[in-house]
Structures are given as C-alpha cells and as structure tokens.
Amino acid sequence: MGKQTTYQLLSAETMWSQVQMWAWTVWNYILLYILGAWYMLKELTATHHTPSGLVSQKGRVAIVTGGGRGIGLETVKQFLQLDMTVVVAGRHVPFLEASVAGLRDGGLTSGEARCMELDLTSMASVRKFAADFLALRCPLHILVNNAGIMFWPRELTEDGNEAHWSVNYLGHFLLTHLLLPCLQANRPTTTTIASRVVNLTSSVHYMGSINFEDPNSRQHYNPQAAYAQSKLAQMMFTITLDELVSGQGVMVNAVHPGVVATQLFQHVAWATYFPWLARTFLKTPRQGCDTVIYCSLSPNVTHGGGYYENCTPTAPATYATRKELRDQLWKLSCQQLEIKVFGEK
C-alpha cells in the first residue's frame, strides 16, 4: 500500500471520527433540551410542595457546600431560621461571609454560621477542610453536598480530573468519606433522628452514562455529557452509600431541586441572553431549596437511598439502580482517591 493510499485511509478515518463526534454532540443537545422543556412544563403545571411540621433544630450542626449563593445560600438561611449551627463551605471565604452578612442585614438573627474554605477542584483542599472541621470537635448531623457547576468549557483540575467530575461528584465523594465517622457518631434515639447526607443531583442524570474507561473526558469532551455523567454518578453514589451505612445511624438521599434560576445557568445561552425568560419560567432558589430542606429535616423521610423531586420520592434512572455499574463506579472512585476502606483513615 502506497503512502498516498495510507494517507487517504487515515484522512477518511479522521473525518468519520469527526462526523461521529459532531453527531454525538448534537444528540446530547437535543436530549438535554427535550428533557429541560419537559421538566419546565412539568414544574409549571404541578403544585409546588414545601416541607411542613419542622421544629427548632437548636444544637444541631450542618455543613452546606457551595453555601454562598443560589440554592446553597437559601438552604443556609432555612437552617439558620431553625436555629442550627451551619458551616458554610465554599472557595472564597470573604464572599461567603458577605453572603451571610446579607442574611443578617435582612433581619435573620437566629442560628450560628461559620464560613470555611472548600475548593472542590482540589482534593488537597477537601482534605484540609475536613481536617479543619474535625479540629473544631463539634458534632455533625447534616451534610448537604450542594456545590456544583454546569456545562463548563473543558477544564482539568490540579489533580487531573475533569471539572464537572471533580466538583459535582468526586470532591463530594471524598468529603463524605472523611466526615462519615463524625456523622455516624450521632446515633439516633427515641428523641433524635438519624444523621443525613443530602446529595444534589439533577434530572439530567436520566440522560447520563459513566465512561469508565475515560471518566475525565480526555479523548472526547462535551459539557452536557460531562455534567450528566457527574450527576448520574452522584445518584449512584447515593444508593451505594446508603446501602453501606444502613443501620449505622446515617441516611443518604439525593435531590433534584428543580430547574432553578441560579448562576449554574451562566453557560446556558438562552438564559444568558434572555434572563427574563429564566426569571419567568424557572424556579427561584427559595423554591429550589425546599426539597433539600425536606430531605434534610423532615420526619416524613424515613428511608435512604432515594431520589426526590418536589418533596416526593421519584424513580431514578434505571442505569443508577444497576448494582454491577454502581459497584464499578465505587471501585473507580476509591481508586482515583486512593481510598482503601470508605469512611476509614
């Protein structure tokens, strides 16, 4: 075979690969917007449910990642109104402190807030945050893994992880591993309830799959697929972790907060160029945090391993329930983070 023929074959293969990538990208866009339109219609026509029967939570401690804005800040606000101690975790402590000060300026006087640095793009930062929190020697009753990014341009973290994978999933996996003994220390009694882990996933997890050979999207990158993968992983993690801690005083559930108008939409073209559409048709951060609060505090939530929308248990993607895939993801995650036994040093 001559050099020219070989070159022609390679060019044809390259062109076919590019066509496949283009088709895959377009298909992800189509799936995403069909799913998004369905959920917007669903939320516009359904009655919004709010948690009820909540009482003072004085003496209880919660951590909220990404607590400086959006759903995270509204969750912090609701916890403080119930007189909790809240650790507000995020990348920039001055910004977190300004956000909490805004709540105080608005007349909120109950509860206690402490702002601490947590950068989920850095596993070293996650480990430092956990160590700093444990050094406070205070209990931990609720961990809300809220922080997230959506549809970001390709970015690798200092650890070599794709940004969605790191922020939305892997960093929270590590954080929960490091804090699990603290959560387990609060054994429920006749007058207290189990500690709770609430993972924020998304309805987009329905269109996701896990690329076990290349979870960091080094070969091919699509922001919609990367986001869907990270949120599917969070859902799968929820089910597996709840099975692991069953009977140990910890309950783990996942929440789709709704299609909420927050800064997550900064990389969504229509929401950027037509913000009035987002304000008109999307849920507010206050509405978005209602299911988070429900799963964090409601006595009506008695089992873990669930997926909740609008304060209602809902069936997750079938992919997320397949044990062999969940076990494979668990093994991969522990390998990436060099965890020998989850929850143990």
Residues contacting 124, CB < 8 A, separation 6+: 158
For residue 267, give the DSSP letter: G
* Amino acid at site 121: T
Which residues lie across from 309 on neighbouring strands? 256, 312
Cα→Cα distances 106→67, 102, 159, 279, Å: 17, 6, 40, 22
Measured in residues, the chain has a length of 345
Q: Is the dihedral of CA 103, 105, 107, 108 positive or negative?
A: positive
CB 288 within 8 A of CB 71: yes
Cα→Cα distances 137→96, 130, 134, 183, 185, Å: 22, 11, 5, 12, 12
Which entry of 206, 227, 294, 307 is annotated as an active-site residue? Answer: 227
Residue 227 annotated as catalytic: yes
Strand duo 307-309 + 312-314: pairing:
antiparallel
- Give, to the nearest 10 degrees, the angle between helix 171-184 and helix 223-244: 20
**Tokens encoding 74:** 């509204």
The CB-side HSE value for 302 (13 A sphere, CA atoms) comes to 1
* Residues forming the active site: 227
